[in-house]
Homo-oligomer: A and B are copies of this chain.
Amino acid sequence: MSVEDQVTDAARAARQASRTLGSIGAEQRAGALLAMAQAIRDNARRIQNANAEDMAAGEDSGLSAAMLDRLLLTDERIEDIAAALEEIAELPDPVGEVLAEWTIDSGLHIQRVAVPIGVIGIIYESRPNVTADAAGLCVKSGNACVLRGGSEAINSNLALAGVLQEAAEAAGLPPGTVSMIPVTDREAVGAMCRLPEYIDLIVPRGGEGLIRAVTENAQVPVLKHYRGMTQIYVDEHADPELAVKLVHNSKVQRPGVCNAVENLYVHRNAAEVLRAIVADLQEAGVEIRGCPRTMEMVEGIEPATDEDFDTEYLDLVLSVMIVDSLDEALEEIAEHTSGLTEAVITEDEEVAERFLREVDSAAVYHNASTRLTDGGVFGLGAEIGVSTDKIHARGPVGAAQLTIFKYVCRGDGQIRT
């Protein structure tokens, strides 16, 4: 069977499943999630045997030690996967929520009701636990899913998806609820992108190359996360201690993620704060690259190139620029943002409010760490990704963000005149 046929089969099965999934009640779907969690535990051996095949293949093909470690499914990680499904089961159910309702003059009663999107295609390259997280969030939101994971984890993924689908079916969910594409060719990605009749939304998770390949081919809507060019502006009226603490946390707590700060703008009158921030960061091993004025103000830092201010380091490196005003900071932030997360540090409420209003990002902060942009921290529950798109959903994409709405209209003979 061709790659395209295999993808089409999986997607068609998901579409069929989605027709009934949307009207299965919240309790039954939550029960299925608990059953899926238990099935992961009960089938740990089966999953780990499949994982051992991936590990052996990875060693043969020369995967790095770090990659092999990401791939490995230890007993503890199996338990984490199961526990994550149980957490998703406990979340509030987003399906059927009445988002708004009103009655028009003719007496027609209109409700805007949250409903599942239908079929979600998820394309990922990362750890096998994404298979369970994605399936869990889709079941929680009443969606069927078509999963396409990376080649390194294909055996682990197929085992996980098989266990999850079996448990889902035993709990009364339809066949095709969790469909894993059994092939990992790049061709499978293209094929998914060309199936708007079966797939309603594609969520790609991975490097920029993957995401560009998806969006350039997609006839299916895509919800994507490009980059995290996270930025902070330290105003002239910043509290020095707070500024040091927040920049430190934003850069150092976990530098390899999208909401870690990459560009820092400092008001020219905040030289003392700047020096304190730099001293703290250098002590933490951060390399500072500064604009010419930064280099005049602080000793012992490297010059920043123009390119640095567009570079997502994902590492202990920070670009610093001195600005003359909030206006200039806003201009620079708009120029370099990826639309994910920005923060202002100031005691001046007017500056703060203008920053919060004018910076166009999924999450904007006053006097808090950029690292807080996270579905779990926000209280939205688990997330399937973080959207930097400007439609449907921005920021953390959890179960509620995998729903859309329909208008449910109850009448007694209303017509158009």
Contact = CB atoms under 8 A, between A and B. Distances in A.
Interface stretch (A33-41, A281-289, A290-298, A399-407): A399-407
A242 interface: yes
Contacts of A274: none
A246 interface: yes
A63 B36 CA distance: 62
Contact of A200 (B201, B390, B414): B390
Contacts of A215: 196, 219
Q: Give the interface size bracket for A toward B.
A: 35 or more
A246 B411 CA distance: 11
Interface of A: 19, 22-23, 102, 104, 108, 110, 115, 117-118, 196, 200-201, 215-216, 219, 221-223, 242, 245-246, 249, 253-254, 334, 352, 356-358, 360-369, 371-374, 377-379, 389-392, 394-395, 404-417
26 contacts: A108-B368, A108-B372, A118-B390, A200-B391, A201-B391, A221-B221, A221-B390, A221-B391, A221-B392, A246-B413, A246-B415, A249-B415, A352-B410, A362-B407, A363-B409, A364-B407, A364-B409, A365-B409, A367-B410, A368-B410, A372-B409, A372-B411, A372-B414, A372-B416, A391-B404, A394-B405
Given A110-B378, A391-B392, 17 more contacts: A108-B368, A110-B379, A201-B391, A221-B222, A221-B389, A242-B413, A245-B415, A356-B410, A363-B407, A363-B409, A365-B411, A368-B411, A368-B412, A369-B415, A372-B416, A374-B416, A391-B404
